[in-house]
Amino acid sequence: MNNNSLKVLFACSELTPWVKTGGLADVCGSLPQALAEGGDDVRVVLPGYHSVLQHIPAPLFISVVKLPLGSITLCRGDLHGIQVLLVMHESFTNRPGNPYMSDSDRPWPDNARRFALFSQAVCEIAQDRTDLHWQPDIVHCHDWQTGLVPALLSQTDTEQHTSRPATVFTIHNLAYQGNIMIDAYNRLGLPSELLVQDGLEFWNQASFIKGGIAFADKITTVSATYADEITTKDFGCGMEGLLQYRRDRLSGILNGIDTDIWNPETDLHINTNYTFGTIDKKANNKKDLQAQLKLREDPNALLLGVISRLAVQKGIDLIIDAIKQLKNENIQLAVLGAGDSELQQQLQKLAKANPENVSVEIGFNESLSHKIEAGADVFLMPSRYEPCGLNQMYSHRYGTLPLVTSVGGLADTVIDINDDPASANGFVIKSANPVLLQQGILRVIELFKDKTRWRNLQNNAMQINYSWAASAAQYKNLYRQALQEPPKQ
Protein backbone atom coordinates (compact mmCIF):
# COMPACT_ATOMS: atom_id res chain seq x y z
CA MET A 1 0.00 0.00 0.00
CA ASN A 2 1.11 3.56 -0.71
CA ASN A 3 -0.31 7.05 -0.60
CA ASN A 4 -1.50 6.68 -4.18
CA SER A 5 -3.40 3.47 -3.49
CA LEU A 6 -7.16 3.08 -3.47
CA LYS A 7 -9.54 0.70 -1.75
CA VAL A 8 -11.68 -0.90 -4.47
CA LEU A 9 -14.63 -3.27 -4.12
CA PHE A 10 -15.53 -5.27 -7.23
CA ALA A 11 -19.19 -6.33 -7.27
CA CYS A 12 -19.79 -9.05 -9.85
CA SER A 13 -21.92 -12.10 -10.56
CA GLU A 14 -19.15 -14.17 -12.19
CA LEU A 15 -15.49 -14.79 -11.46
CA THR A 16 -13.00 -16.86 -13.44
CA PRO A 17 -12.16 -19.66 -12.74
CA TRP A 18 -14.96 -20.32 -10.24
CA VAL A 19 -18.07 -19.36 -12.21
CA LYS A 20 -18.21 -18.21 -15.82
CA THR A 21 -20.71 -17.74 -18.63
CA GLY A 22 -18.84 -15.03 -20.54
CA GLY A 23 -16.17 -12.34 -20.63
CA LEU A 24 -17.45 -10.62 -17.48
CA ALA A 25 -15.93 -13.46 -15.45
CA ASP A 26 -12.53 -13.00 -17.12
CA VAL A 27 -12.48 -9.28 -16.38
CA CYS A 28 -13.40 -9.76 -12.74
CA GLY A 29 -10.86 -12.53 -12.40
CA SER A 30 -7.97 -10.56 -13.91
CA LEU A 31 -8.47 -6.81 -13.37
CA PRO A 32 -8.49 -6.99 -9.53
CA GLN A 33 -5.14 -8.82 -9.65
CA ALA A 34 -3.64 -6.20 -11.94
CA LEU A 35 -4.84 -3.39 -9.65
CA ALA A 36 -3.51 -5.19 -6.57
CA GLU A 37 -0.14 -5.63 -8.24
CA GLY A 38 -0.15 -1.85 -8.66
CA GLY A 39 -0.59 -1.38 -4.91
CA ASP A 40 -4.35 -1.01 -4.51
CA ASP A 41 -6.37 -2.74 -1.78
CA VAL A 42 -8.86 -4.73 -3.85
CA ARG A 43 -11.64 -7.05 -2.74
CA VAL A 44 -14.29 -8.84 -4.76
CA VAL A 45 -17.85 -9.58 -3.64
CA LEU A 46 -19.59 -12.51 -5.33
CA PRO A 47 -22.74 -14.58 -4.75
CA GLY A 48 -21.90 -17.79 -2.92
CA TYR A 49 -23.12 -20.08 -5.67
CA HIS A 50 -23.11 -23.86 -5.26
CA SER A 51 -20.42 -24.08 -7.96
CA VAL A 52 -18.21 -21.53 -6.20
CA LEU A 53 -18.37 -23.46 -2.95
CA GLN A 54 -16.94 -26.48 -4.73
CA HIS A 55 -13.72 -24.47 -4.95
CA ILE A 56 -13.94 -23.16 -1.35
CA PRO A 57 -15.12 -26.04 0.83
CA ALA A 58 -14.53 -24.13 4.08
CA PRO A 59 -15.04 -20.38 3.58
CA LEU A 60 -14.16 -18.14 6.53
CA PHE A 61 -17.24 -16.86 8.38
CA ILE A 62 -17.43 -13.07 8.77
CA SER A 63 -20.94 -12.19 9.92
CA VAL A 64 -24.68 -12.55 9.46
CA VAL A 65 -26.14 -9.46 7.81
CA LYS A 66 -29.84 -8.58 8.00
CA LEU A 67 -31.13 -6.98 4.80
CA PRO A 68 -34.57 -5.73 3.71
CA LEU A 69 -34.97 -8.80 1.48
CA GLY A 70 -33.70 -11.28 4.07
CA SER A 71 -30.60 -12.27 5.99
CA ILE A 72 -27.37 -13.37 4.33
CA THR A 73 -24.19 -14.87 5.71
CA LEU A 74 -21.03 -13.08 4.66
CA CYS A 75 -18.00 -15.32 4.27
CA ARG A 76 -14.56 -15.07 2.73
CA GLY A 77 -12.43 -17.03 0.32
CA ASP A 78 -9.21 -16.12 -1.47
CA LEU A 79 -8.25 -16.21 -5.13
CA HIS A 80 -4.70 -15.43 -6.24
CA GLY A 81 -4.17 -13.38 -3.09
CA ILE A 82 -7.40 -11.37 -3.52
CA GLN A 83 -10.04 -11.50 -0.80
CA VAL A 84 -13.34 -12.73 -2.24
CA LEU A 85 -16.37 -11.92 -0.11
CA LEU A 86 -19.15 -14.45 -0.56
CA VAL A 87 -22.82 -13.55 -0.12
CA MET A 88 -24.35 -16.79 1.14
CA HIS A 89 -28.08 -17.30 0.69
CA GLU A 90 -30.07 -20.40 -0.19
CA SER A 91 -31.06 -18.93 -3.56
CA PHE A 92 -27.36 -19.06 -4.48
CA THR A 93 -25.91 -21.91 -2.47
CA ASN A 94 -28.61 -24.51 -3.22
CA ARG A 95 -28.57 -24.27 -7.02
CA PRO A 96 -25.85 -26.04 -9.01
CA GLY A 97 -25.08 -25.23 -12.63
CA ASN A 98 -25.60 -21.97 -14.49
CA PRO A 99 -25.89 -18.95 -12.17
CA TYR A 100 -28.88 -17.50 -14.02
CA MET A 101 -30.60 -20.39 -15.80
CA SER A 102 -32.28 -23.63 -14.79
CA ASP A 103 -31.53 -26.99 -16.41
CA SER A 104 -34.44 -26.34 -18.79
CA ASP A 105 -32.55 -23.28 -20.12
CA ARG A 106 -35.00 -20.82 -18.58
CA PRO A 107 -34.07 -17.90 -16.29
CA TRP A 108 -34.65 -18.62 -12.61
CA PRO A 109 -38.02 -17.00 -11.83
CA ASP A 110 -36.59 -15.27 -8.74
CA ASN A 111 -33.52 -13.75 -10.43
CA ALA A 112 -34.71 -10.22 -9.68
CA ARG A 113 -35.03 -11.01 -5.97
CA ARG A 114 -31.69 -12.88 -5.87
CA PHE A 115 -29.70 -10.03 -7.38
CA ALA A 116 -31.62 -7.32 -5.53
CA LEU A 117 -30.61 -9.15 -2.34
CA PHE A 118 -27.02 -9.36 -3.58
CA SER A 119 -27.03 -5.63 -4.38
CA GLN A 120 -28.29 -4.83 -0.89
CA ALA A 121 -25.43 -6.88 0.55
CA VAL A 122 -22.92 -4.99 -1.61
CA CYS A 123 -24.29 -1.68 -0.31
CA GLU A 124 -23.84 -2.82 3.30
CA ILE A 125 -20.20 -3.68 2.62
CA ALA A 126 -19.71 -0.43 0.71
CA GLN A 127 -20.92 1.58 3.71
CA ASP A 128 -18.89 -0.41 6.26
CA ARG A 129 -21.99 -1.88 7.94
CA THR A 130 -20.57 -5.38 8.34
CA ASP A 131 -17.88 -6.86 10.58
CA LEU A 132 -15.23 -6.30 7.91
CA HIS A 133 -14.32 -2.88 9.29
CA TRP A 134 -13.30 -1.83 5.80
CA GLN A 135 -14.87 0.72 3.48
CA PRO A 136 -13.89 1.07 -0.18
CA ASP A 137 -13.19 4.34 -1.95
CA ILE A 138 -14.66 2.87 -5.15
CA VAL A 139 -17.37 0.31 -5.81
CA HIS A 140 -16.93 -1.09 -9.31
CA CYS A 141 -20.13 -2.80 -10.47
CA HIS A 142 -20.59 -5.04 -13.49
CA ASP A 143 -23.68 -5.56 -15.66
CA TRP A 144 -27.35 -5.69 -14.72
CA GLN A 145 -26.88 -8.06 -11.78
CA THR A 146 -25.28 -5.19 -9.82
CA GLY A 147 -27.07 -2.28 -11.49
CA LEU A 148 -29.10 -1.56 -8.36
CA VAL A 149 -25.97 -0.82 -6.33
CA PRO A 150 -25.27 2.72 -7.67
CA ALA A 151 -29.00 3.50 -7.44
CA LEU A 152 -29.28 2.34 -3.83
CA LEU A 153 -26.04 4.06 -2.81
CA SER A 154 -27.31 7.31 -4.31
CA GLN A 155 -29.79 7.42 -1.43
CA THR A 156 -27.08 7.42 1.22
CA ASP A 157 -27.78 10.08 3.84
CA THR A 158 -24.62 12.16 3.96
CA GLU A 159 -25.97 14.10 6.95
CA GLN A 160 -25.53 10.94 9.03
CA HIS A 161 -21.81 10.95 8.16
CA THR A 162 -22.06 7.78 6.12
CA SER A 163 -20.63 9.19 2.93
CA ARG A 164 -20.87 6.67 0.14
CA PRO A 165 -18.00 5.47 -2.03
CA ALA A 166 -17.77 6.61 -5.62
CA THR A 167 -19.35 4.19 -8.09
CA VAL A 168 -18.21 2.90 -11.47
CA PHE A 169 -20.53 0.78 -13.60
CA THR A 170 -19.24 -1.38 -16.46
CA ILE A 171 -21.54 -2.49 -19.28
CA HIS A 172 -20.30 -5.80 -20.67
CA ASN A 173 -23.33 -6.42 -22.86
CA LEU A 174 -26.18 -3.91 -23.01
CA ALA A 175 -28.55 -6.47 -24.53
CA TYR A 176 -28.92 -8.13 -21.09
CA GLN A 177 -30.75 -5.59 -18.94
CA GLY A 178 -32.48 -7.30 -16.02
CA ASN A 179 -35.89 -5.81 -16.80
CA ILE A 180 -38.92 -6.77 -14.70
CA MET A 181 -42.56 -5.76 -14.49
CA ILE A 182 -43.54 -2.89 -12.20
CA ASP A 183 -45.57 -5.23 -9.96
CA ALA A 184 -42.54 -7.47 -9.52
CA TYR A 185 -40.42 -4.46 -8.56
CA ASN A 186 -43.00 -3.34 -6.00
CA ARG A 187 -43.09 -6.82 -4.45
CA LEU A 188 -39.35 -6.55 -3.80
CA GLY A 189 -39.95 -3.62 -1.49
CA LEU A 190 -37.28 -1.53 -3.21
CA PRO A 191 -37.45 2.28 -2.89
CA SER A 192 -40.42 3.62 -4.83
CA GLU A 193 -38.65 6.95 -5.35
CA LEU A 194 -36.13 5.18 -7.61
CA LEU A 195 -38.89 4.01 -9.95
CA VAL A 196 -39.08 7.22 -11.99
CA GLN A 197 -38.19 8.18 -15.55
CA ASP A 198 -34.80 9.51 -14.45
CA GLY A 199 -34.26 6.37 -12.39
CA LEU A 200 -35.14 2.72 -12.91
CA GLU A 201 -38.35 3.09 -14.91
CA PHE A 202 -37.94 1.82 -18.48
CA TRP A 203 -40.92 1.57 -20.85
CA ASN A 204 -43.36 0.63 -18.06
CA GLN A 205 -40.88 -1.79 -16.55
CA ALA A 206 -38.11 -1.54 -13.97
CA SER A 207 -34.60 -2.00 -15.33
CA PHE A 208 -31.69 -3.08 -13.16
CA ILE A 209 -29.05 -2.07 -15.71
CA LYS A 210 -30.59 1.39 -15.96
CA GLY A 211 -29.79 1.84 -12.27
CA GLY A 212 -26.11 1.60 -13.06
CA ILE A 213 -26.34 3.82 -16.13
CA ALA A 214 -28.45 6.52 -14.48
CA PHE A 215 -26.74 6.72 -11.09
CA ALA A 216 -23.07 5.66 -11.37
CA ASP A 217 -20.42 8.37 -11.13
CA LYS A 218 -18.64 6.85 -14.12
CA ILE A 219 -19.90 4.42 -16.77
CA THR A 220 -17.56 2.26 -18.80
CA THR A 221 -17.81 -0.29 -21.55
CA VAL A 222 -15.22 -2.83 -22.58
CA SER A 223 -14.04 -1.07 -25.76
CA ALA A 224 -13.97 2.49 -27.07
CA THR A 225 -15.99 1.68 -30.19
CA TYR A 226 -18.73 -0.04 -28.19
CA ALA A 227 -18.97 3.05 -25.97
CA ASP A 228 -19.78 5.06 -29.09
CA GLU A 229 -22.06 2.40 -30.58
CA ILE A 230 -24.39 2.16 -27.58
CA THR A 231 -25.29 5.83 -27.88
CA THR A 232 -26.93 5.02 -31.23
CA LYS A 233 -30.32 3.48 -31.99
CA ASP A 234 -28.78 0.46 -33.72
CA PHE A 235 -26.82 -0.67 -30.65
CA GLY A 236 -28.41 1.20 -27.74
CA CYS A 237 -31.11 -1.38 -26.92
CA GLY A 238 -33.49 1.42 -25.97
CA MET A 239 -30.97 3.05 -23.61
CA GLU A 240 -29.35 5.28 -26.23
CA GLY A 241 -31.16 8.44 -25.07
CA LEU A 242 -29.96 8.06 -21.49
CA LEU A 243 -26.45 7.16 -22.63
CA GLN A 244 -26.34 10.25 -24.85
CA TYR A 245 -27.48 12.32 -21.85
CA ARG A 246 -24.69 10.85 -19.69
CA ARG A 247 -22.07 10.79 -22.44
CA ASP A 248 -19.70 12.92 -20.34
CA ARG A 249 -19.59 10.09 -17.78
CA LEU A 250 -19.21 7.31 -20.39
CA SER A 251 -15.92 5.89 -21.68
CA GLY A 252 -14.57 2.66 -23.16
CA ILE A 253 -11.57 0.76 -21.80
CA LEU A 254 -10.49 -2.27 -23.78
CA ASN A 255 -10.24 -5.51 -21.82
CA GLY A 256 -6.88 -7.11 -21.36
CA ILE A 257 -6.21 -10.85 -21.34
CA ASP A 258 -4.27 -13.18 -19.09
CA THR A 259 -1.02 -13.36 -21.02
CA ASP A 260 0.31 -16.11 -18.77
CA ILE A 261 -2.57 -18.48 -19.54
CA TRP A 262 -2.75 -17.51 -23.22
CA ASN A 263 0.88 -17.85 -24.18
CA PRO A 264 2.00 -20.21 -26.98
CA GLU A 265 5.53 -20.25 -25.57
CA THR A 266 4.44 -21.93 -22.30
CA ASP A 267 0.92 -23.31 -23.00
CA LEU A 268 0.72 -26.84 -21.58
CA HIS A 269 -2.43 -27.67 -23.56
CA ILE A 270 -0.84 -27.53 -27.00
CA ASN A 271 1.31 -30.03 -28.87
CA THR A 272 4.31 -27.77 -29.57
CA ASN A 273 5.25 -24.48 -27.93
CA TYR A 274 6.44 -21.62 -30.12
CA THR A 275 7.06 -17.87 -30.32
CA PHE A 276 6.86 -15.39 -33.20
CA GLY A 277 10.52 -16.22 -33.81
CA THR A 278 9.81 -19.95 -34.09
CA ILE A 279 6.39 -19.76 -35.69
CA ASP A 280 7.19 -22.59 -38.09
CA LYS A 281 6.45 -24.89 -35.13
CA LYS A 282 2.81 -23.76 -35.23
CA ALA A 283 2.34 -26.25 -38.07
CA ASN A 284 2.77 -29.09 -35.58
CA ASN A 285 -0.27 -27.85 -33.67
CA LYS A 286 -2.35 -27.71 -36.84
CA LYS A 287 -1.43 -31.31 -37.65
CA ASP A 288 -2.23 -32.37 -34.07
CA LEU A 289 -5.60 -30.59 -34.13
CA GLN A 290 -6.57 -32.14 -37.45
CA ALA A 291 -5.70 -35.58 -36.08
CA GLN A 292 -7.61 -35.06 -32.81
CA LEU A 293 -10.72 -33.81 -34.60
CA LYS A 294 -10.44 -36.47 -37.33
CA LEU A 295 -10.12 -33.85 -40.04
CA ARG A 296 -8.19 -34.59 -43.19
CA GLU A 297 -4.51 -33.94 -42.42
CA ASP A 298 -3.56 -31.33 -44.98
CA PRO A 299 -1.14 -28.47 -44.19
CA ASN A 300 -2.44 -26.52 -47.21
CA ALA A 301 -6.08 -26.57 -46.13
CA LEU A 302 -7.12 -23.25 -44.56
CA LEU A 303 -8.24 -24.29 -41.08
CA LEU A 304 -10.87 -21.93 -39.64
CA GLY A 305 -11.43 -21.93 -35.87
CA VAL A 306 -14.54 -20.90 -33.92
CA ILE A 307 -14.80 -20.86 -30.11
CA SER A 308 -18.04 -19.15 -29.24
CA ARG A 309 -21.44 -19.02 -27.70
CA LEU A 310 -23.54 -20.41 -30.54
CA ALA A 311 -25.85 -17.50 -31.17
CA VAL A 312 -27.07 -15.32 -34.02
CA GLN A 313 -25.26 -12.38 -32.35
CA LYS A 314 -21.98 -14.20 -32.99
CA GLY A 315 -22.79 -14.71 -36.68
CA ILE A 316 -22.85 -18.50 -36.41
CA ASP A 317 -25.61 -18.64 -39.02
CA LEU A 318 -23.34 -16.73 -41.42
CA ILE A 319 -20.51 -19.20 -40.84
CA ILE A 320 -22.78 -22.18 -41.58
CA ASP A 321 -23.96 -20.57 -44.80
CA ALA A 322 -20.42 -19.64 -45.86
CA ILE A 323 -19.08 -23.17 -45.39
CA LYS A 324 -21.94 -24.55 -47.50
CA GLN A 325 -21.36 -22.02 -50.26
CA LEU A 326 -17.59 -22.54 -50.28
CA LYS A 327 -17.65 -26.34 -50.10
CA ASN A 328 -15.43 -26.66 -53.16
CA GLU A 329 -12.64 -24.59 -51.58
CA ASN A 330 -9.81 -26.19 -49.60
CA ILE A 331 -11.04 -25.06 -46.19
CA GLN A 332 -11.78 -26.76 -42.89
CA LEU A 333 -13.81 -25.68 -39.86
CA ALA A 334 -13.30 -26.50 -36.17
CA VAL A 335 -16.12 -25.31 -33.87
CA LEU A 336 -16.26 -25.42 -30.08
CA GLY A 337 -19.22 -23.95 -28.22
CA ALA A 338 -22.79 -24.26 -27.02
CA GLY A 339 -25.92 -22.19 -27.22
CA ASP A 340 -28.93 -21.98 -29.53
CA SER A 341 -30.25 -25.50 -30.10
CA GLU A 342 -31.20 -24.85 -33.73
CA LEU A 343 -27.71 -23.58 -34.57
CA GLN A 344 -26.17 -26.54 -32.75
CA GLN A 345 -28.23 -28.94 -34.85
CA GLN A 346 -27.31 -27.15 -38.09
CA LEU A 347 -23.61 -27.32 -37.22
CA GLN A 348 -23.81 -30.99 -36.29
CA LYS A 349 -25.62 -31.73 -39.55
CA LEU A 350 -22.89 -29.87 -41.44
CA ALA A 351 -20.19 -31.88 -39.66
CA LYS A 352 -21.95 -35.17 -40.37
CA ALA A 353 -22.14 -34.34 -44.07
CA ASN A 354 -18.47 -33.22 -44.20
CA PRO A 355 -16.60 -35.30 -41.58
CA GLU A 356 -13.15 -34.73 -43.10
CA ASN A 357 -13.51 -30.96 -43.22
CA VAL A 358 -15.88 -29.93 -40.41
CA SER A 359 -15.66 -30.71 -36.69
CA VAL A 360 -18.20 -29.55 -34.12
CA GLU A 361 -17.76 -30.03 -30.37
CA ILE A 362 -20.74 -28.94 -28.27
CA GLY A 363 -19.89 -27.66 -24.79
CA PHE A 364 -16.88 -26.05 -23.14
CA ASN A 365 -13.45 -27.66 -23.21
CA GLU A 366 -10.56 -25.56 -21.91
CA SER A 367 -7.85 -27.76 -23.39
CA LEU A 368 -9.48 -27.93 -26.82
CA SER A 369 -9.97 -24.16 -26.87
CA HIS A 370 -6.19 -23.73 -26.53
CA LYS A 371 -5.56 -26.35 -29.21
CA ILE A 372 -7.89 -24.55 -31.63
CA GLU A 373 -6.19 -21.20 -30.97
CA ALA A 374 -2.78 -22.77 -31.62
CA GLY A 375 -3.77 -25.06 -34.51
CA ALA A 376 -6.12 -22.94 -36.60
CA ASP A 377 -4.87 -20.64 -39.35
CA VAL A 378 -7.76 -18.18 -39.02
CA PHE A 379 -10.25 -17.39 -36.23
CA LEU A 380 -13.78 -16.47 -37.35
CA MET A 381 -15.76 -13.81 -35.42
CA PRO A 382 -18.39 -12.34 -37.78
CA SER A 383 -20.36 -10.88 -34.87
CA ARG A 384 -23.37 -8.65 -35.38
CA TYR A 385 -22.23 -6.77 -32.28
CA GLU A 386 -19.30 -7.44 -29.97
CA PRO A 387 -18.72 -5.23 -26.90
CA CYS A 388 -15.10 -6.32 -26.64
CA GLY A 389 -14.33 -9.87 -27.68
CA LEU A 390 -11.44 -11.81 -26.21
CA ASN A 391 -10.80 -14.59 -28.69
CA GLN A 392 -9.45 -12.25 -31.34
CA MET A 393 -6.81 -11.20 -28.77
CA TYR A 394 -6.04 -14.81 -27.85
CA SER A 395 -5.76 -15.53 -31.57
CA HIS A 396 -3.27 -12.71 -32.09
CA ARG A 397 -1.11 -14.18 -29.34
CA TYR A 398 -1.02 -17.51 -31.18
CA GLY A 399 -0.43 -16.11 -34.67
CA THR A 400 -3.93 -17.19 -35.68
CA LEU A 401 -5.29 -14.37 -37.81
CA PRO A 402 -8.81 -13.14 -36.98
CA LEU A 403 -11.49 -12.55 -39.60
CA VAL A 404 -14.00 -10.22 -37.93
CA THR A 405 -16.74 -7.67 -38.49
CA SER A 406 -16.04 -3.98 -37.87
CA VAL A 407 -17.96 -3.67 -34.60
CA GLY A 408 -17.10 -2.97 -30.96
CA GLY A 409 -13.84 -4.32 -29.65
CA LEU A 410 -13.22 -6.17 -32.91
CA ALA A 411 -12.91 -2.83 -34.71
CA ASP A 412 -10.53 -1.62 -32.00
CA THR A 413 -8.15 -4.58 -32.19
CA VAL A 414 -8.10 -5.99 -35.74
CA ILE A 415 -6.46 -4.07 -38.60
CA ASP A 416 -7.16 -5.24 -42.15
CA ILE A 417 -4.28 -5.67 -44.55
CA ASN A 418 -6.04 -3.48 -47.11
CA ASP A 419 -6.38 -0.62 -44.61
CA ASP A 420 -2.83 -0.58 -43.23
CA PRO A 421 -0.46 -3.17 -44.72
CA ALA A 422 2.42 -2.22 -42.42
CA SER A 423 0.60 -2.87 -39.13
CA ALA A 424 -2.18 -5.23 -40.29
CA ASN A 425 -2.96 -8.18 -38.02
CA GLY A 426 -6.05 -9.77 -39.56
CA PHE A 427 -9.04 -9.33 -41.83
CA VAL A 428 -12.13 -7.15 -41.43
CA ILE A 429 -15.50 -7.17 -43.21
CA LYS A 430 -17.72 -4.10 -42.93
CA SER A 431 -20.79 -5.86 -41.51
CA ALA A 432 -22.28 -9.23 -40.61
CA ASN A 433 -23.43 -10.06 -44.11
CA PRO A 434 -23.33 -13.56 -45.66
CA VAL A 435 -21.92 -12.39 -48.99
CA LEU A 436 -19.28 -10.22 -47.31
CA LEU A 437 -18.18 -13.14 -45.13
CA GLN A 438 -17.86 -15.45 -48.13
CA GLN A 439 -15.88 -12.80 -49.99
CA GLY A 440 -13.71 -12.31 -46.93
CA ILE A 441 -12.89 -16.01 -46.67
CA LEU A 442 -12.04 -16.15 -50.38
CA ARG A 443 -9.70 -13.19 -49.90
CA VAL A 444 -8.03 -14.99 -46.99
CA ILE A 445 -7.62 -18.16 -49.06
CA GLU A 446 -5.66 -16.21 -51.68
CA LEU A 447 -3.42 -14.48 -49.15
CA PHE A 448 -2.78 -17.78 -47.35
CA LYS A 449 -0.88 -18.90 -50.44
CA ASP A 450 1.56 -15.97 -50.03
CA LYS A 451 3.61 -17.26 -47.10
CA THR A 452 5.75 -14.11 -46.80
CA ARG A 453 2.80 -11.74 -46.40
CA TRP A 454 1.04 -14.23 -44.14
CA ARG A 455 4.11 -14.42 -41.90
CA ASN A 456 4.27 -10.63 -41.67
CA LEU A 457 0.66 -10.53 -40.45
CA GLN A 458 1.43 -13.20 -37.86
CA ASN A 459 4.46 -11.31 -36.61
CA ASN A 460 2.41 -8.12 -36.22
CA ALA A 461 -0.31 -10.01 -34.36
CA MET A 462 1.95 -11.88 -31.95
CA GLN A 463 3.81 -8.77 -30.80
CA ILE A 464 0.73 -6.86 -29.59
CA ASN A 465 0.70 -6.24 -25.83
CA TYR A 466 -2.70 -7.22 -24.42
CA SER A 467 -1.68 -7.50 -20.75
CA TRP A 468 -4.03 -6.15 -18.09
CA ALA A 469 -1.43 -3.64 -16.84
CA ALA A 470 -2.36 -0.99 -19.44
CA SER A 471 -6.09 -1.42 -18.85
CA ALA A 472 -5.60 -1.32 -15.07
CA ALA A 473 -3.79 2.01 -15.36
CA GLN A 474 -6.73 3.45 -17.31
CA TYR A 475 -9.19 2.20 -14.68
CA LYS A 476 -7.05 3.69 -11.91
CA ASN A 477 -7.24 7.11 -13.61
CA LEU A 478 -11.00 6.67 -14.04
CA TYR A 479 -11.43 5.82 -10.35
CA ARG A 480 -9.66 9.03 -9.38
CA GLN A 481 -11.89 11.01 -11.72
CA ALA A 482 -14.96 9.35 -10.17
CA LEU A 483 -13.83 10.44 -6.72
CA GLN A 484 -13.71 14.02 -7.94
CA GLU A 485 -17.15 14.00 -9.58
CA PRO A 486 -20.01 15.66 -7.70
CA PRO A 487 -22.13 12.68 -6.57
CA LYS A 488 -25.65 12.14 -7.85
CA GLN A 489 -27.81 11.85 -4.74
- Region 161-169: mean pLDDT is 84
pLDDT tens-place string over residues 278-311: 999 999 999 999 999 999 999 999 999 999 989 9
State how far the Cα of 111 lies from the Cα of 77, in Å rounded to an integer: 24
Q: Where are the strands (E) in 172-300, listed by range?
A: 179-181, 201-202, 205-207, 218-221, 250-252
Is pLDDT larger for residue 464 or for residue 103? 464
What's the pLDDT score for residue 162? 57
State how far the Cα of 107 lies from the Cα of 114, in Å rounded to an integer: 12
Looking from the CA of 25 toward its CB, the CA atoms found within 13 Å total: 13
Between the two ends of the chain, the Cα-to-Cα distance in Å is: 31
| Residue among 84, 163, 70 nearest 118 (CA) | 70
Is pLDDT larger for residue 97 or for residue 274? 274
Which of 64-73, 102-111, 249-258, 266-275 is the least confident region?
A: 102-111
What's the pLDDT score for residue 158? 45
What's the pLDDT score for residue 159? 43
Confidence of residue 14 (pLDDT cuts 50, 70, 90): very high
State how far the Cα of 99 lies from the Cα of 31, in Å rounded to an integer: 21
DSSP conformational letter for 276? G
| Cα-based angle 153, 155, 159 (whole degrees, multiple of 5) | 110
* Cα 50 to chain centroid, rounded: 22
Q: Are the C-beta atoms of residues 407 and 221 closer than 8 Å to each other?
A: no
What's the pLDDT score for residue 368? 97
Which of 99-113, 115-129, 234-248 is the least confident region?
A: 99-113
- Region 158-175: mean pLDDT is 81
- Region 244-258: mean pLDDT is 96
- For residue 381, list its beta bridge partners: 404
Q: At what angle do helices 208-215 and 111-126 cross, to 10 degrees?
A: 30
Is pLDDT larger for residue 58 or for residue 163? 58
pLDDT tens-place string over residues 368-422: 999 999 999 999 999 999 999 999 999 999 999 999 999 999 999 999 999 999 9
Does residue 27 have a pLDDT over 70?
yes
- Region 60-87: mean pLDDT is 96
Confidence of residue 364 (pLDDT cuts 50, 70, 90): confident
State the average pLDDT for the chain.
95
- Region 102-127: mean pLDDT is 94
| Residue among 110, 210, 239, 205 nearest 151 (CA) | 210
Q: Which structural domains are found in the chain, ordered by start?
A: 7-256+468-484 (3.40.50.2000), 276-462 (3.40.50.2000)
What's the pLDDT score for residue 59? 95
- Region 433-440: mean pLDDT is 97
* SS3 at position 68: coil
- Region 111-138: mean pLDDT is 96
pLDDT tens-place string over residues 307-358: 998 999 999 999 999 999 999 999 999 999 988 999 999 999 999 999 999 9
Helices and strands (H, E) in the chain, number of each type: 18, 18
- Region 108-116: mean pLDDT is 97
- Region 37-42: mean pLDDT is 96
Confidence of residue 21 (pLDDT cuts 50, 70, 90): confident
DSSP H/E element including 429: strand 427-429
DSSP H/E element including 347: helix 341-353
What's the pLDDT score for residue 488? 57
Confidence of residue 160 (pLDDT cuts 50, 70, 90): very low
